[in-house]
Amino acid sequence: MKTDHQSLNMPGEEILSNMLIKMYQIRYFEQVAGRLYQKGQVKGGVHPYIGQEAIAVGISAHLRKDDLITSTHRGHGHHIAKGADLNRLLAEVIGKETGYCKGRGGSMHVAAFDAGSLGAFAINASGLPVAVGAALSAILQDKDIVIIAYFGEGALAQGTLHESLNMASVWKLPVIFVCENNEYAVSTPSEMTISYQDMKALAEVYNMWGEDINGQDIMEVYETAGRVIKRTREGKGPAFIHARTYRFEGHYFGEPQIYRPREEVQEARNTLDPIRIFLDYLFTHNLMSQEEAQKIDQQAQEDIQKALTYAEESPEPKPEEYAKYVYA
Amino acid sequence: MSMPEKTESPREITYMLAIREALQAEMRRDSNVILLGEDVVRHGGGFGVSKELWEEFGDKQVRNTPISENGFVGVALGAAMTGMRPVVEIMFADFSALAIDQICNQAAKVRYMSGGQTKAPMVVRLPQGGLSWKSAAAQHSQSIEAWYVNVPGLKVVFPSTPYDVKGLLRSAIRDDNPVVFLEHKALYGFKGEVPADDYTIPLGQADIKRLGKDVTIVASGYMVHFALEAATQLAEAGIDAEVIDPRTLKPLDEEAIFVSVRKTHRVVMVQEASQSAGVAAEWVTRVQEVCFDWLDAPIRRLAGKDVPIPYANSLEQQVWPRPDDIVKAATEVCYR
């Protein structure tokens, strides 16, 4: 679990605080979404990012506003980390007109184009070629942006993933593929369906830079992402980051999780909580006081409470406008 | 026929060259228009449509892709969402089945799913059909327009003449929505009058290919030419047929069909594609819902047989409607 922090290019205080508040915001956002689901206020499937917060937050700490991401059905965390407005994001999850997608997308299709998101593609691996296309667009328009394509390890079995890795490499595009391996594709453990476990070898096959990291340790994510984003932004081509993680909740809220023992989940919550790991690091290295951390925690709770009030008080889309936005 | 108001001198070019001219004109007009596809660089794509474009526009605007249909259509979508106007060629329309996720689940829906935050101005060019493009069998001869007409968010265009294909492709490229652009392979060598002028044809506008008063024949793609051939034969028998080409299959210019039906009171719908749930079924439904009281005979539908396209010539010729079938159906609805 421990990284050799001596070798890290240390983030400053502001970055550390910002990363911590984003992690808390994601955690509380998802918990609120879960409660709304239980109360029936959220009808569709909600796929929580709880347990995986360090990945998107550690990566986004290096992203500019004009850098782009493609997200997945488990996309709230990617969007919060990238800087999406919490009010509009939660309003979308509840299906309100004030939501980012005006209630047309919902939890699985959250999108925040004002924050550099190209949206959440809720079919496995389908966002990857879109990310490659955005990267092609970037070089054709001489922009020095990078595109982050998030996906789960279930996508490793999709042909579209392999097509995307191949094109990105052949054309040497500024796209970084981030595989969040949370061990289960819905109920299926990856070793039952993925024939290869060495992800650096996969990157090598596609002739691109590869990293295999502990996605629970935000300092490791931060350090790796910093190096990888820098080289891709400098025109050195695509990269593949495999981040080992674990989802603390079911595939979606309300999913019975009969495929894994409760003890396994409890053990993960006890030992792999990325927020706990980050706090331990901050306190051990005297980078933040307990009091400061509590203040940040409190602030995040208030931010989410405000977002909830905003979302709940917002109007629903007008029924007669169901066909709005089909065509440009 | 809606022809431009003025041309310097009438000029005949092929359907294929008309497509190339449309691409060339749009790529000159807007450097964000890019062409992607298998072999589009030196080979000119599957049929030579894009020959000489790479020589003029270079790597920035003309790019060969790997054989990854879903992947490169997704690339076009990502580029479209970030400021480009990609035109993608899929070598055969049949192969677009590999890209249906990106066309139907992603491109068609990004605007709606995002509540209007983004748009996908892209064209997917699909060479389709059989007929005089012979013996390509089951995986290289299909007419697949119905796959896409069913999907909200897409526009679907199927031009039948060199004049139409040029004007419609230019409009498709300028449209802010994903457009499935069907080209009939057997028409690539078909010549017709195409002015050198800078003209476009709006999407969603049908064209009357032949004026008539006794029976309406609705057809698209290659079937327009069979319908015109049938109309000539019908004229000899004293039946004056009107031929309507919707040109754009989605959105459908249904009003043009209704106007014709209210005049002739008799209709024959023709499609090359296999029959079940095809575009002709949709046309029939709309006409009977709106024009029932104007009809003097049941609507006839002619379509390809519900079989995979066979290889052997003796079998292949059985699956598509022929001009004689149209003559027979039109004669029947006129109770002659």
Same domain, B142 and B218: no
For A124: left if phi > 0, alpha if psi spans -120 to 50, otherwise beta; the answer is beta
Record the tokens describing residue B69, joined without a space: 């249909």
- Which of A4, A21, A3, A14 is closest to A275 using CA atoms? A21
Banded model confidence at residue B6, pLDDT cuts 50, 70, 90: low
pLDDT score, position A244: 97
The answer to the question of residue B273 being in a domain is yes
The answer to the question of residue B202 being in a domain is no
Maximal CA-CA distance, chain B: 60
A297 Cβ neighbours under 8 A, 6+ residues apart: A24
Same domain, B165 and B218: no
pTM: 0.96
How does pLDDT run across A57-116, given as a tens digit for each residue?
A: 999 999 999 999 999 999 999 999 999 999 999 999 999 999 999 999 999 999 999 999
Q: Do B68 and A134 touch (CB under 8 A)?
A: no
Q: Do B152 and A326 touch (CB under 8 A)?
A: yes
Question: Are A72 and A197 in contact, with CB atoms under 8 Å apart?
Answer: no
Banded model confidence at residue B5, pLDDT cuts 50, 70, 90: low
Same domain, B79 and B150: yes
Question: Are A170 and B66 in contact, with CB atoms under 8 Å apart?
Answer: yes
Of the residues B143, B158, B193, which one is the last residue of a structural domain? B193
Q: Judging by beta carbons within 10 Å of its beta carbon (0-12, 13-18, 19+), is residue B10 exposed, middle or buried?
A: exposed
pLDDT score, position A8: 55
A219 lies within 8 A of chain B by CB: no
Record the tokens describing residue A20, joined without a space: 């911590």
Of the residues B158, B193, B228, which one is the last residue of a structural domain? B193
A172 lies within 8 A of chain B by CB: no
pLDDT score, position B218: 98
Question: Are B244 and B253 in contact, with CB atoms under 8 Å apart?
Answer: no
Same domain, B188 and B222: no
Spans of chain A below 50 pLDDT? 1-6
Same domain, B27 and B160: yes
The answer to the question of residue B198 being in a domain is no
- Which of B97, B56, B255, B245 is closest to B165 using CA atoms? B245
Residue B119 pLDDT exceeds 50 = yes
Contacts of B102 in chain A (CB under 8 A): 126, 129
Q: Any alpha helices (H) in A235-289, and if so which ranges?
A: 262-271, 274-284
Same domain, B93 and B215: no
Going along chain A from its start, the domains and CATH numbers come out as 51-67+124-140+151-309 (3.40.50.970)
Same domain, B87 and B161: yes
The answer to the question of residue B3 being in a domain is no
The type of residue at B268 is V
Residue B9 pLDDT exceeds 80 = no
Average pLDDT, chain B: 96
CATH number of the domain residue B317 falls in:
3.40.50.920
Alpha carbon distance A248, A269 (integer Å):
7
The count of structural domains within chain B is: 2
How large is the average pLDDT for residues B107-119?
98
Alpha carbon distance A172, A223 (integer Å):
23
Alpha carbon distance B225, A287 (integer Å):
78
Q: Do B115 and A105 touch (CB under 8 A)?
A: yes
The answer to the question of residue B4 being in a domain is no
A325 lies within 8 A of chain B by CB: yes
Same domain, B243 and B184: no
- Which of B293, B280, B295, B306 is closest to B333 using CA atoms? B295
pLDDT score, position A44: 86
Contacts of A99 in chain B (CB under 8 A): 115
How large is the average pLDDT for residues B80-102?
98
Of the residues B162, B193, B224, which one is the last residue of a structural domain? B193
Contacts of A66 in chain B (CB under 8 A): none
Task: Tell me which residue range forms the domain holding B270.
Answer: 207-333
Same domain, B39 and B171: yes
The answer to the question of residue B200 being in a domain is no
For CA atoms B12, B18, B20, B23, the dihedral sign is positive
Same domain, B224 and B180: no
- The alpha carbon of A325 is separated from its chain's Cα centroid by a whole number of angstroms, namely 27
The type of residue at B125 is R
Question: Are A30 and A310 in contact, with CB atoms under 8 Å apart?
Answer: no
The answer to the question of residue B321 being in a domain is yes
B140 is a catalytic site residue: yes
Maximal CA-CA distance, chain A: 60
How does pLDDT run across B155-177, given as a tens digit for each residue?
A: 999 999 999 999 999 999 999 99
Same domain, B164 and B251: no
The answer to the question of residue B283 being in a domain is yes
- Residue B278, min C-alpha distance to chain A (Å): 23
pLDDT cut 90: percent of chain B above it: 94
CATH number of the domain residue B155 falls in:
3.40.50.970
- The radius of gyration of chain B's CA atoms, rounded to the nearest angstrom, is 20
pLDDT score, position A6: 47
How does pLDDT run across B189-212, given as a tens digit for each residue?
A: 999 999 988 999 999 999 999 999
Q: Do B78 and A140 touch (CB under 8 A)?
A: no
Same domain, B217 and B187: no
